[in-house]
């Protein structure tokens, strides 16, 4: 994979955009808690950062097929830089209010499915099927390494230089990602399906394919429940660190350190799983890792100690690497390759739909009771495990659903 002339540029773009995405999430949550002193508003910020993109994802998937992944991702990178730059500029001008913040985050979110699905659809087109698992492990490992650096960077930059320069750094990373994509030559082959179809018809077909595919349906339910728990933890952890540490000035750095630990173990989990995983065992790996995650969230993370919280998040990260590699391999193997662009974007957005719900729910619960918040997050993870067991087929018997025909 690394010998392709396009892959280094693609990895640079993926890493820069993912670092920006990860830093933005932490920076926004930390900014809102510091500026507005409200866990509920922080949770709603996460909602506006993700929910509009989920709503628009079917159309975004069709746009991805029509524009081509490289151009679509570049489009998103440019507009992401503009919108986050506007957040920083309005904040520096003392014009940033909660409604304006929500509006800018919404605009940012609307184009985000283009890069979320676009980058991932390029990897299968450059990598043979036999190398899917290790390619996914490499892709996820770089993402997990970024998850280590992103919270540390956000947690260090936020108190050191302030929220506005931190946001400007994020905008600059999106610019770097766009420039890296501009250096791609030759490109991946464009999908043959849907090139001349109407946009809404193409979007409908992407949704219809997902609904016809039992594996994608099951993953949509199970992983969205898992993401509810993940979204809750994004808000719960900084609130818990501030409450248990008793030193608000150091809470940002400790929060960054906590998530860095989770990201480090996530990278380890992805690498190990990539070496062990093979066709036919993905579902079992997902189920086992999700059950372990539930215990890591509650009671381990909720014991009232920063040490046990770090241990719980480390275990959550380790299992997340296993879950994500298994999910990606399963989804790629059970999706018609000719429909990866459209279906991958819709599938990924549906799978992540629980995240904004989780941030909003986590903000509401954490402001009342941390124990209850951790308990509900663990319950959501258990529901995710039950969904894997009940809804994801153990095999497709070699058959993939065909795309709906058009007239």
Q: pLDDT per residue over 135-157, tens digit each?
A: 566 666 677 677 667 777 887 78
Cβ neighbours of residue 167 under 8 Å, at least 6 residues apart? Answer: 24, 27, 31, 84, 85, 87, 88, 91
Asked if 345 and 61 count as a contact pair (C-beta separation under 8 A), the reply is yes
| Cα atoms in the Cβ-side hemisphere of radius 13 Å centred on 359 | 22
Domain borders along the chain are 7-184+197-391
What sign for the dihedral angle of Cα 331, 337, 339, 344? positive
State the pTM of this model. Answer: 0.76
Asked if 158 and 27 count as a contact pair (C-beta separation under 8 A), the reply is yes
Asked if 105 and 45 count as a contact pair (C-beta separation under 8 A), the reply is yes
DSSP-based helix, strand, coil % in the chain, nearest 5: 85, 0, 15
pLDDT of residue 386: 96
For residues 77 and 16, what is the distance between their CA atoms, to the nearest angstrom?
Answer: 10
For residues 79 and 115, what is the distance between their CA atoms, to the nearest angstrom?
Answer: 11
Reduced to 3 states, what is the DSSP secondary structure of residue 228?
Answer: helix
pLDDT of residue 63: 77
C-alpha 274, offset from chain centre: 19
Of 1.20.1250.20, 3.40.50.880, 3.30.565.10, 3.30.413.10, the CATH number of 7-184+197-391 is 1.20.1250.20
pLDDT of residue 196: 44
For residues 41 and 121, what is the distance between their CA atoms, to the nearest angstrom?
Answer: 34
Q: Which residues of the chain have pLDDT under 70?
A: 1-7, 61, 65, 117, 120-141, 144, 147-148, 185-200, 202-203, 247-249, 337-342, 344-345, 396-407
Residue 49 structure tokens: 């950062």
Asked if 237 and 258 count as a contact pair (C-beta separation under 8 A), the reply is yes
Asked if 9 and 184 count as a contact pair (C-beta separation under 8 A), the reply is yes
Asked if 92 and 40 count as a contact pair (C-beta separation under 8 A), the reply is no
Asked if 174 and 81 count as a contact pair (C-beta separation under 8 A), the reply is yes
Closest among 224, 240, 236, 237 to 357, alpha carbons compared: 224
Closest among 300, 297, 293 to 324, alpha carbons compared: 293
SS (H, E, C) 320-351: HHHHHHHHHHHHHHCCCHHHHHHHHHHHHHHH
For residues 403 and 166, what is the distance between their CA atoms, to the nearest angstrom?
Answer: 44
For residues 65 and 263, what is the distance between their CA atoms, to the nearest angstrom?
Answer: 32
Residue 57 structure tokens: 């994802």
Determine the Cα angle at 378 with ends 354 and 318, to 5°.
Answer: 85
């Amino acid at each position: 994979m690394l010998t392709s002339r396009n892959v280094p540029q693609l990895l640079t773009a993926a890493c820069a955009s993912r670092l920006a995405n990860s830093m933005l999430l932490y920076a926004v949550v930390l900014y809102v808690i510091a500026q507005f002193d409200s866990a509920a508003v922080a949770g709603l910020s996460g909602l506006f950062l993700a929910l509009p993109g989920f709503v628009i994802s079917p159309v975004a998937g069709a746009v991805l097929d029509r524009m081509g992944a490289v151009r679509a991702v570049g489009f998103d990178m440019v507009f992401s830089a503009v919108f986050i730059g506007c957040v920083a500029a309005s904040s520096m001008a003392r014009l940033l209010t909660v409604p304006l913040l929500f509006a800018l985050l919404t605009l940012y979110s609307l184009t985000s499915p283009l890069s979320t699905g676009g980058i991932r659809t390029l990897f299968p087109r450059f990598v043979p099927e036999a190398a899917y698992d290790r390619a996914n492990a490499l892709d996820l490992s770089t993402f997990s390494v970024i998850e280590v650096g992103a919270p540390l960077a956000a947690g260090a930059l936020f108190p050191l230089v302030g929220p506005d320069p931190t946001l400007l750094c994020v905008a600059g990373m999106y610019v770097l990602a766009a420039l890296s994509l501009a250096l791609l030559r030759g490109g991946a082959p464009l999908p043959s399906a849907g090139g001349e179809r109407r946009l809404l018809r193409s979007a409908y077909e992407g949704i219809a394919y997902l609904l016809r595919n039992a594996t994608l349906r099951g993953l949509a339910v199970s992983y969205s429940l898992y993401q509810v728990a993940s979204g809750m933890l994004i808000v719960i952890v900084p609130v818990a660190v501030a409450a248990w540490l008793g030193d608000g000035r150091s809470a940002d750095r400790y929060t960054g350190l906590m998530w860095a630990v989770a990201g480090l173990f996530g990278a380890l989990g992805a690498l190990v799983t990539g070496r062990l995983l093979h066709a036919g065992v993905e579902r079992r790996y997902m189920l086992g890792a999700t059950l372990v995650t539930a215990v890591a969230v509650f009671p381990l993370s909720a014991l009232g100690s920063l040490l046990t919280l770090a241990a719980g998040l480390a275990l959550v990260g380790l299992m997340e690497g296993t879950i994500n590699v298994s999910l990606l391999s399963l989804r790629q193997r059970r999706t018609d390759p000719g429909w990866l662009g459209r279906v991958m974007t819709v599938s990924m957005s549906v799978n992540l739909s629980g995240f904004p719900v989780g941030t909003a729910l986590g903000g509401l619960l954490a402001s009342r009771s941390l124990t209850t918040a951790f308990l509900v997050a663990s319950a959501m993870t258990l529901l995710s495990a039950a969904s894997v067991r009940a809804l994801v087929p153990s095999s497709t018997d070699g058959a993939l659903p065909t795309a709906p025909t058009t007239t």
